[in-house]
Structure 1
Amino acid sequence: MRIAIPVVSGEVFSPLANAEAFHFYEDDHGKIVREFLEPMEESGTDAAVGLLERYGIDALLCGTIDDTERTAVGMAGIMLFPGYSGKADDAALRFLSGSVVSDPNNHCNACGFKGACSLKDKGGCGGN
């Protein structure tokens, strides 16, 4: 399975469109066998989802996610697991161990910025 996590300074970040990079992981029977960081060269939901598609990502772990991003990820056929926070490496390990269950209803709506949360506080709704 190929997993992606949007990051800023190694931490899970929201929204996808403003992440500085994606940390990619590949697992074999629950163990990470390959990982690397891929910088975002463009911002925006289309650029983020396009990057995930180019790398054949199966699952996206993230913090909060707005409806536009949720729809784009779903249309790309990528499984979505919102509700993560903290270090990306820790999130990947928790996901692979099955010890954390994602909240599929975790939406980014609170600030009213319609997915541009980090433009307001430079840290996303979760304060990452």
Structure 2
Amino acid sequence: MKIAVPTYNGEIFQHFGSCPEFTIFTVSDDGFLDVDIISNTGSGHGALLQVLYDNEVNALLCGGIGGGARNGLAQLGIRLFPGISGNALEAVTALLNGTLTYDPNASCGHHHHHEEGGDCHCGEHGHHHEHGDDCHCHH
């Protein structure tokens, strides 16, 4: 089983469509966990879906995700676990243990822009950050 998580510095990145990288956890039948980090070189959910498909991913754990990406994942047969924040390894471990808490309705439906590039603590998704600052939304 392969589980992908959009990440930044080991934490779950809250914007699927603009994640800097994926951490892909490969779980063998005996429970062995192999970890690969793949940089995001594309843009938009279409390119990201191709990365997941090319890496034979079975499940995606993420923060916010838009409707187009949700539909694409469904078409590819990739299980979706949205609305997650925190450490990626801890989330994957919780999934494997059957204790993962996630929000099946988490989405990216709101757009706003941070002119000065400050951190966002808004709880909304699909917004833009200048100067490389990260969003710390938890939805």
**What TM-score do the two structures reach when normalised by structure 2?**
0.78
Shift of 1:120: 4.1
Match status 1:116 vs 2:126: yes
Shift of 1:92: 1.0
- 2: distance between equivalents of 1:44 and 1:85? 21
Match status 1:49 vs 2:49: yes
Task: Let me know the Cα RMSD of the aligned residues.
Answer: 2.4
- 2: distance between equivalents of 1:38 and 1:22? 5
Match in the other structure for 2:87: 87
Match in the other structure for 1:23: 23
Shift of 1:31: 2.9
Asked if the contact 1:2/1:26 (under 8 Å) is kept, the reply is yes
Shift of 1:32: 4.1
What SS does the aligned partner of 1:83 have? coil
Structure 2: gaps spanning 5 or more residues: 113-123
Deviates more, 1:49-58 or 1:74-83: 74-83
Asked if the contact 1:30/1:97 (under 8 Å) is kept, the reply is no
Structure with bigger gyration radius: 2
**What TM-score do the two structures reach when normalised by structure 1?**
0.84
- 2: distance between equivalents of 1:77 and 1:44? 19
The number of equivalent residue pairs is 126
Taking CA–CA contacts closer than 8 Å with sequence separation of 6 or more, which of the two structures ends up with the larger relative contact order? 1
Query: Cα–Cα, structure 1 residues 127 and 105, in superposed 2: closer, same or farther, change >3 Å?
Result: closer
